[in-house]
Amino acid sequence: MRSRRTRKRYERTIPKPEIVIDETPTPSVSLEDVAPSRARERPAYEPSPEDDAAVVEATEDLLEAADIDADIEFLHEDYQRVWIEVDSKHAGVLIGKRGSGIEALEVLIGRMASHEVGHMVPVQVDVNQYRAKHEAELRELARELAGRVAESGEDEHLRPMNARDRRVIHVTVQEMDGLETYSLGEGAAKHIVIHKAEN
C-alpha cells in the first residue's frame, strides 16, 4: 500500500510598506529669499545675408516637404522672424495644442538654418498670428492683475506658464511703476507672482 505524501504549502507573506505621515507644515516662501525677476541680457545677434538665406530656404523646404501651401514673410533682425499664413485646414496642424506645433517649427527651422551656416541662428515663428494674439492676451492679463496688486497690495499668483509666456508677463509688469515679478516653483509648476515693491 502506497503512502500518500502531502506537501506542506508555504504562503509567501509580502511585507506591507510602512507609511509615515509627516504633519510638519511646508514652510512658506519668504520674499526676502526671492529676488525680483529681471529681463535677461541676450547677446546681440547680427544677421548675415547667409543667415537670411538659410532661414528662408529651411522654412520653404520644411513646408514643401509637408505639402503645405503658405504665404511666408520674413524679418531679419535681432531674431530671424518668420510669419506663416496658411488656410484653416493646415492651421491646426502647424499651430498644435497650445502652440506646441509652432514651437516644433521654430526648433526645426532654427536647427536647419544653424546647421547650414555653422553657427546658432535665433528663430521666432508665428502661424496665422496665433502667437501675436496670445501675447496680446497675456499682456492684457498682466496689466489687469498688476492693477489689482497696486490697488490692494495683495500678491497675485498666475497659473503655471512656459518660459516664453513668463517673459511676456515679466516685461509687461516691469513697465509699471511700484511693482515687481517673481518666478516661483519648479518645472511645469513654475509660475509668476506679481508683488507690490517696497518703497
pLDDT > 90 in the chain, percent: 64
3-state SS, residue 130: helix
In this structure, the strands spanning 80-85 and 123-127 are parallel
Q: From CA 182, how far away is CA 170, in angstroms rounded?
A: 8
- Tens of pLDDT, residue by residue over 93-148, are 899 988 899 999 999 999 999 999 999 999 999 999 999 999 999 999 999 999 99
Whether the per-residue pLDDT at 167 is higher than 70: the answer is yes
CATH number of 132-196: 3.30.1370.50
What is the Cβ-side half-sphere exposure of residue 72, based on CA atoms within 13 angstroms? 19
| Ranges of H-type helices in 37-162 | 49-65, 88-95, 100-117, 130-152
- Identity of residue 16: K
All structural domains of the chain with their residue ranges: 49-128, 132-196
* Arithmetic mean of pLDDT over the chain: 85
Higher pLDDT, 38 or 167: 167
Which H or E element spans position 73? strand 71-76
Whether the per-residue pLDDT at 44 is higher than 80: the answer is yes
> CATH for 49-128, among 3.30.300.20, 3.40.190.90, 3.20.20.70, 1.10.3720.10?
3.30.300.20
Which grid cell sits at 5? Answer: 505524501
Neighbour count for residue 85 (Cβ, 10 Å) = 13
Check: CB of residue 117 under 8 Å from CB of residue 54: yes
Report which of 85, 83, 63, 81 is spatially closest to residue 73, judged by C-alpha positions: 83
